[in-house]
Amino acid sequence: MSQRQLGGDLTVAGTSAPVRSREFVGEVVGIEPIMGDAAVLSVDVPMTVVHGLRSGRFFEITCRDEVAFDPLLRRPYSVYRIDAERGRLLFLVRPFGRGSAWLSRRRPGDRLALLGPLGNTYDIGPTSQNVLLIAGGVGVAPMVMLADEAIGRGLNVTFLMGATTVPGLLPATELPDRVEYVVATDDGSKGYHGFVTDLAADYVRWADQIFACGPESMYLELRTAIGPHRIGRRPTVQVSMEREMACGLGACLGCVVETRHGMVASCIQGPVFDLDEIIW
Amino acid sequence: MSQRQLGGDLTVAGTSAPVRSREFVGEVVGIEPIMGDAAVLSVDVPMTVVHGLRSGRFFEITCRDEVAFDPLLRRPYSVYRIDAERGRLLFLVRPFGRGSAWLSRRRPGDRLALLGPLGNTYDIGPTSQNVLLIAGGVGVAPMVMLADEAIGRGLNVTFLMGATTVPGLLPATELPDRVEYVVATDDGSKGYHGFVTDLAADYVRWADQIFACGPESMYLELRTAIGPHRIGRRPTVQVSMEREMACGLGACLGCVVETRHGMVASCIQGPVFDLDEIIW
Amino acid sequence: MSDELWTPDLTVDLAPNNPRELRLANPVIAASGCFGYGQEYAGVIDVERLGAFVSKGITPEPRGGNSMPRIKETPAGMLNAIGLQNPGIRGFIRKYPKLWARMSVPAIVNISAETVDDYAMMAALLDEQPAIAGIEINVSCPNIARGGYCFGWDPEMSADVTRAVGAATTLPLIVKLSPGAVDVVAVAEAVEAAGADAISLINTLVGMTIDVHRRRPTLGNVTGGLSGPAIRPIAVRMVYQVAAAVRVPVIGMGGIMALDDLLEFVMAGASAIQVGTGIFVDPGLPIRLIDELTEWMTRHGVRRLDEIVGAAQPAAARQFRFAGVETAGDSA
Amino acid sequence: MSDELWTPDLTVDLAPNNPRELRLANPVIAASGCFGYGQEYAGVIDVERLGAFVSKGITPEPRGGNSMPRIKETPAGMLNAIGLQNPGIRGFIRKYPKLWARMSVPAIVNISAETVDDYAMMAALLDEQPAIAGIEINVSCPNIARGGYCFGWDPEMSADVTRAVGAATTLPLIVKLSPGAVDVVAVAEAVEAAGADAISLINTLVGMTIDVHRRRPTLGNVTGGLSGPAIRPIAVRMVYQVAAAVRVPVIGMGGIMALDDLLEFVMAGASAIQVGTGIFVDPGLPIRLIDELTEWMTRHGVRRLDEIVGAAQPAAARQFRFAGVETAGDSA
Ligand SMILES: Cc1cc2nc3c(=O)[nH]c(=O)nc-3n(C[C@H](O)[C@H](O)[C@H](O)COP(=O)(O)OP(=O)(O)OC[C@H]3O[C@@H](n4cnc5c(N)ncnc54)[C@H](O)[C@@H]3O)c2cc1C
Ligand SMILES: Cc1cc2nc3c(=O)[nH]c(=O)nc-3n(C[C@H](O)[C@H](O)[C@H](O)COP(=O)(O)OP(=O)(O)OC[C@H]3O[C@@H](n4cnc5c(N)ncnc54)[C@H](O)[C@@H]3O)c2cc1C
Ligand SMILES: Cc1cc2nc3c(=O)[nH]c(=O)nc-3n(C[C@H](O)[C@H](O)[C@H](O)COP(=O)(O)O)c2cc1C
Ligand SMILES: Cc1cc2nc3c(=O)[nH]c(=O)nc-3n(C[C@H](O)[C@H](O)[C@H](O)COP(=O)(O)O)c2cc1C
Ligand code: FES
Ligand code: FES
């Protein structure tokens, strides 16, 4: 995955100007409720930031008042969607702890300190025709952007989404029309009754690639569920790993994931990893 | 001044019910600019809090997001004015450091954690007819409430106000009509050109009592300016001392003022002191 | 957990080896220096509901305290340099035991001195007083006989104080450790061996700030003690290490601001906790902690606090003793 | 201040007693462990503008580091337990001196070991390398020969390491003190006498948190190092005390997040400062500090940084040495 590393992005696609800094200030222009208690935050940012952005990459956002030092660290958030024409980033934020609660309380006009884009991306192979996307809860964020990309490339997309109960599901209207959208709920209140990963087995032979984003437990379930149906490492599975981060730039080594290549920083050599490379 | 101490207020005047707690939550219902960069914050609070409140007393306000611990300590704010009918406290806040900046950014609907009323009060003696009030900058807050009280009692009130420049002056409309309002600016842009304390000398013989609120340096100037005109300790001078506070209840001894009676906690035996009792 | 009705048992005896016992209705104690003499918060919270409270530090003679400023806020914390302003042991005895006799909440006296004899003298005077539930020995004081080296930094000096106080009174003795010691576990073991009924920790860490406008130290006393949430990770670590090493009850404190913080100390090995700075910023906190702990224990089927004391300790707890050293951590 | 045009002089030599010198264009240094190997922030800030940067701690052998989680946010601070993940001194030498040779900013190597010989071995290897401006000795490591007792807690052990490293290289030597020492001034004096060209402080304080849901320590390593604004008052105090006691330049760090914080350390007695955690949360900070300091000095008529180094020290600075002890502060 070295081609997806950070270094390659220091020049903005389409221009020859090097990006001097990935630290910038954005302005909140909208905040809309979605998926129960979550919200989609729209942030106006410099055009160059949005340009060429791909799914999987994330931004480190300062989640506190400028004058306060608590909570201290930035929080990483995947890009949920972009509006390239207006230079706008959309994030999907579920209020969980102190940082996300603060972020969920922003109002239009508020300013946000962002650092990014950071990390690597999900990679759709040049020969792929059928792609399976699997989202667990708020992990849906990069999957929506990936669905947009895949549809843009004319691929067949099946999108599996799991949530605890109905309100946690992504509304189908958020996805491109051509996507096949299948849902599962833990309590059976809509769609399949059980884990979304149970549904994956049926698509293994069909899919050229599988992409997933959700909690680590989902990846383990997924590996078990699809294992018997895979032929060797086909189809490949790309997953986004969640780690607490400090720097986001490979400097602190606080966010490592143990892979067959050693302890690697998930903020630069991830967050997207090949499922089979990770040592669980 | 022992009669003005905290213990005496544990029963709300007019009721026999003891106040169970002076810790409560208020709701911001308005925030209006005043005196340049300052603001008047209107906060709806339980009726019992406002009942019988007198000038000089203050509230300790938490100036941070609920989930953050920075800035940690509450800030003391004098009551600027009350609306007894609606159960409303008005505070005058000048953005200075981290706490006041946070407070100045509140919007209607925001909730505030308050502790109070705390401290003692300015005391108008039963025989006083003429009272001189002197305010320096944001120290005007308790003086406005005291002017309301004095006018309510039918006294003659002269109100001297000093500020660096014109915008820092209290608009005359904030004071009852019957108050004689005299201003001074350091740069002479309005009123007397110089320190407000220079004006005080003229009123020493007239005044039965002097009340002041401002920076400590103002009290020292005042002492010097009125000294030659006083007869013994007449008129008495009551001043409000500014101290950084932690508890506000006499428990930490962090806010002491050195007086002829020793090191006393300015949050309970103050903030109002007899000028002549303080050891400078 | 069965279906029968039960309420969790929050009581704790902080001096199980002492015939006089130190029984608390619950493990929430107001910390020394942050609760005056138990009277100051009477109009704000129901003091009687506390597990106990500890008085401001008392010294052999009256003290006027340090010059101002005495407190300074710091990021998620505060510095204080009160300088032990107090009426002295005799002034204290004239006033407070009488007042405390009217209260049912256990009152603990915190004592500070600069010689072993002075500690013992104060303990002897307190021994005769009614309404005193125990003594907390503050060893974070300079030992005059040792050129001002802090008692609490040295296991032997801390043990000397403990022994001398123990000889002067039968009251339950809590020794309050200083976080300035290079090996707080060694101090804890020494005071346990010297007869401490319980160990409390941590006292504040020495810090200072500079007023860059005036180009001089902010506090009148130059340095002060750092407390509040900022120091909590250090306090939890020390409680975890000390609790693994001693058998007497441990009382944890340092930056407790919420139930999760209390649970951290308890799971680290504390049988009770103290709240200091948290009371200033949130006076209702101690009482809320009691209510929330009761609710939490009920929800989690924890019938007695004991069941979770030290829950985060490894099975072979004592092995941990040098973990903080061997894994260093401070040069990660 | 006269009316003529002038620009303030921010340069500083951190090794005035060493013929090789350690000249910095300005006093702002990126701290060890917070700036990788000087490459990671290249796309975010202009690294060449820094006064210097310090590498991640290098050890004799490659290390994979601790198990996850390795970082945990705390109130106004963070814990880290990276476990010195690094390619080892030989792996380091193969890769980085080459890269650094293309940069003009002074690059300092931070070294950690568990024996005196290993420290000396690393220093000898570094001595031959180009593009290395100096060595920062991290003494916050367990000494295997002394049962894991931390080098930095003991003046003699710290001096031994300093002497051994000094014998192995002529490179400028900075010794980075551990705040865990009971008397950080004694350690500073010992390493100065042993040949340190400069002293940096503070490293992190050992802390931990507990995950109360899982009832176990949060960090994979149990304990970690506390850094960030939370510890700044402790760091400023130690710099103030050490600067009063030694003649070599002092480099201050611990929670610097803004110009006022930098000024605090400088007025306490630091000739230069390091920024660690602050870079994570605000990458533009180091460069902004340089610009704001230049602006501040111009506005206040300070032509050379020297003029304000130690400005908050009392006239008879050395007298202060035991002030932190005598006035205790931690039991106010
Ligand atoms: C690459 C990457 C992309 C991310 N993208 C998104 C996104 O698009 N939308 C989004 O809402 N979040 C996303 N996250 C998670 C986000 O960074 C925060 O961790 C999350 O918002 C919680 O932060 P907090 O400050 O509210 O909680 P904290 O107060 O930091 O959380 C307290 C504890 O809860 C744990 N925790 C954090 N999040 C969860 C969770 N979801 N479930 C269970 N435990 C958790 C943490 O480990 C922490 O110890 C992403 C994380 C990474 C690494
Ligand atoms: C009894 C009492 C009543 C008060 N009433 C009011 C009031 O009605 N309105 C109001 O705006 N403030 C009032 N104050 C001051 C208020 O409590 C805060 O100190 C002020 O708002 C600044 O807080 P901050 O958090 O913004 O600044 P901080 O970040 O706490 O301030 C930083 C430093 O500035 C110093 N400082 C604080 N205020 C000033 C000042 N005005 N001038 C110069 N230095 C200062 C402090 O000592 C502190 O060290 C009162 C104080 C007391 C003790
Ligand atoms: C203002 C203040 C005064 C204190 N005075 C004393 C004291 O007299 N004796 C003592 O042993 N500890 C004293 N302490 C320390 C506290 O009891 C407690 O150990 C420390 O503050 C850590 O807990 P906290 O973070 O909850 O405040 C004082 C602390 C503060 C903040
Ligand atoms: C993630 C992280 C890793 C660190 N690694 C090292 C290290 O390898 N060697 C070292 O001497 N100090 C290390 N430190 C300590 C810092 O260099 C610095 O001394 C400390 O963090 C205090 O400064 P700060 O508050 O500005 O971060 C590390 C700190 C952090 C936060
Ligand atoms: S967050 Fe620092 S290396 Fe990844
Ligand atoms: S603020 Fe604590 S005694 Fe006054």
- The predicted-structure confidence for B33-57, as pLDDT tens digits, reads as follows 999 999 999 999 999 999 999 999 9
Enumerate chain A positions whose Cβ falls within 8 A of a Cβ in B.
Answer: 64-65, 67-71, 98, 101-102
d(CA C269, CA A227): 44
User: Any bridge partners for residue A30, and if so which?
Assistant: A42
Task: Fold for B130-277, please state it.
Answer: Rossmann fold (3.40.50)
Residue range A74-89: mean pLDDT, rounded: 96
d(CA B221, CA B198): 8
Q: With a CB-CB cutoff of 8 Å, which residues 30-89 of chain A face chain C?
A: 69-70
pLDDT in tens, C241-250: 999 999 999 9
Residue range D261-270: mean pLDDT, rounded: 98
Q: Are A59 and A77 in contact (CB under 8 A)?
A: yes
Interface C–D counts its CB contacts (< 8 A) at 259
Q: With a CB-CB cutoff of 8 Å, which residues 164-183 of chain B face chain D?
A: none
> Which of B77, B81, B216 is the pocket-test mutation for ligand 2 (most atoms within 8 Å of CB)?
B77
**What is the residue with the minimal CA distance to atom 4 of ligand 3?**
C33
Is any ligand 4 atom within 6 A of the Cβ of residue D27? Answer: no
Angle between helices C116-127 and C155-168 (to 10 degrees): 30
Query: Chains meeting A at 3+ CB pairs closer than 8 A?
Result: B, C, D
Q: With a CB-CB cutoff of 8 Å, which residues 260-279 of chain A face chain D?
A: 262-263
pLDDT of A68 reads 87
Residues of B in contact with C85 (CB under 8 A): 253, 256, 263
Buried b (16+ CB within 10 A) or exposed e, A130-161: bbbbbbbbbbbbbbbbbbbbbbeeebbbbbbb
Q: How far off is chain D from C316, nearest CA to CA, in Å?
A: 14
Catalytic annotation, pick one of D141, D173, D198, D226: D141
Average pLDDT in chain C: 93
Q: Which residues of C are annotated as catalytic?
A: 141
Nearest residue, CB atoms, D78 vs list A10, A246, A249: A246
Domain coordinates in residue numbering, chain A: 5-118, 130-277
Sign, CA torsion D130/D132/D138/D141:
negative
pLDDT of A2 reads 32
Cis peptide before B117 (omega within 30 of 0): yes
Q: What are phi and psi of B145, to 5 degrees?
A: -65, -40
Is any ligand 3 atom within 6 A of the Cβ of residue C55? Answer: no
Is any ligand 4 atom within 6 A of the Cβ of residue D31? Answer: yes
Amino acid at C313: Q
Angle between helices C116-127 and C88-101 (to 10 degrees): 30
Instruction: Specify the range with the lowest mean pLDDT, choosing from B173-182, C322-331, D75-84.
Output: C322-331
Cis peptide before B31 (omega within 30 of 0): no
Sign, CA torsion A15/A18/A19/A20:
negative
Residue range D66-72: mean pLDDT, rounded: 97
pLDDT of D308 reads 96
Is the confidence at residue C328, as pLDDT, over 60? no
Is any ligand 5 atom within 6 A of the Cβ of residue A243? Answer: no
By C-alpha distance, the chain B residue nearest C41 is B249
Buried b (16+ CB within 10 A) or exposed e, C62-81: ebebbebbbbbbbbbbbbbb
d(CA C116, CA C158): 9
**What is the residue with the minimal CA distance to atom 25 of ligand 2?**
B99
Considering every ligand atom shown, identify the ligand nearest to the alpha carbon of residue A60 and give its number. Answer: 1
Name all residues whose Cβ lies below 6 A of ligand 2.
B 58, 75-78, 91-94, 96-101, 138, 141, 242-245, 271
Interface-testing mutation among A69, A102, A245, with chain D (most D C-beta atoms within 10 A): A69
Average pLDDT in chain D: 93
Average pLDDT in chain A: 91
pLDDT of C59 reads 97
Is domain C12-321 in CATH 3.90.650.10, yes or no? no
Q: How far off is chain A from C75, nearest CA to CA, in Å?
A: 7
pLDDT in tens, A141-190: 999 999 999 999 999 999 999 999 999 999 999 999 999 999 999 999 99
Nearest residue, CB atoms, D73 vs list A10, A71, A247: A71
* Whether D237 and C207 lie within 8 Å, measured CB to CB: yes
Domain coordinates in residue numbering, chain C: 12-321
Task: Using CB atoms within 10 Å of the CB of residue A254, give its burial: 0 to 12 exposed, 13 to 18 middle, 19+ buried.
Answer: buried
d(CA D39, CA D29): 15
Q: How many angstroms separate the alpha carbon of residue D218 from the centre of ligand 3?
A: 27
Is any ligand 6 atom within 6 A of the Cβ of residue B271? Answer: no
What is B5-118's CATH number, 2.40.30.10, 3.30.429.10, 3.30.365.10, 3.30.1660.40? Answer: 2.40.30.10
Confidence at A1, pLDDT banded by 50, 70, 90:
very low
C57 touches chain D (CB under 8 A): yes
Enumerate chain C positions whose Cβ falls within 8 A of a Cβ in B.
Answer: 33-36, 40-46, 56, 64-65, 68-78, 80, 82, 85, 228-229, 257, 277, 279-284
Q: Along the 280 residues of chain B, how does pLDDT read in single tens digits?
A: 332 332 233 333 333 334 457 899 999 999 999 999 999 999 999 999 999 999 999 999 999 988 789 899 999 999 999 999 999 999 999 999 999 999 999 999 999 999 999 999 999 999 999 999 999 999 999 999 999 999 999 999 999 999 999 999 999 999 999 999 999 999 999 999 999 999 999 999 999 999 999 999 999 999 999 999 999 999 999 999 999 999 999 999 999 999 999 999 999 999 999 999 999 8
Considering every ligand atom shown, identify the ligand nearest to the alpha carbon of residue D226 and give its number. Answer: 4
Confidence at D316, pLDDT banded by 50, 70, 90:
low
Confidence at C326, pLDDT banded by 50, 70, 90:
very low
pLDDT of C317 reads 53
Q: What are phi and psi of B24, to 5 degrees?
A: -155, 170
Is the confidence at residue C117, as pLDDT, over 90? yes
Interface-testing mutation among A66, A67, A70, with chain C (most C C-beta atoms within 10 A): A70
Q: Are A280 and A261 in contact (CB under 8 A)?
A: no
pLDDT of B32 reads 96
Confidence at A65, pLDDT banded by 50, 70, 90:
confident
pLDDT of A40 reads 97
C239 touches chain D (CB under 8 A): no
D260 touches chain C (CB under 8 A): yes
Residues with Cβ within 8 Å of residue C237, at least 6 apart in sequence: C324, D206, D207, D208, D223
Is the confidence at residue C289, as pLDDT, over 70? yes
pLDDT in tens, D149-177: 999 999 999 999 999 999 999 999 999 99
D317 touches chain C (CB under 8 A): no
- CA-nearest of C279, C84, C227, C248 to C162 is C248
pLDDT of A66 reads 81
Residue range D44-60: mean pLDDT, rounded: 97
Is the confidence at residue C19, as pLDDT, over 60? yes
* Whether D71 and A255 lie within 8 Å, measured CB to CB: yes
Instruction: Specify the range with the lowest mean pLDDT, choosing from B228-232, C188-192, D249-253.
Output: B228-232
Which spans in C134-231 are helix H? Answer: 155-168, 184-193
d(CA C291, CA C294): 5
Residues with Cβ within 8 Å of residue A234, at least 6 apart in sequence: none
The DSSP string of A57-124 is -EEEE--S-TT--SS-S-EEEE--EEETTTTEEEEEE---SHHHHHHHT--TT-EEEEEEEES-----
Cβ neighbours around A5 below 10 Å, total: 15
Q: Taking the model in full, what pTM does it have?
A: 0.94
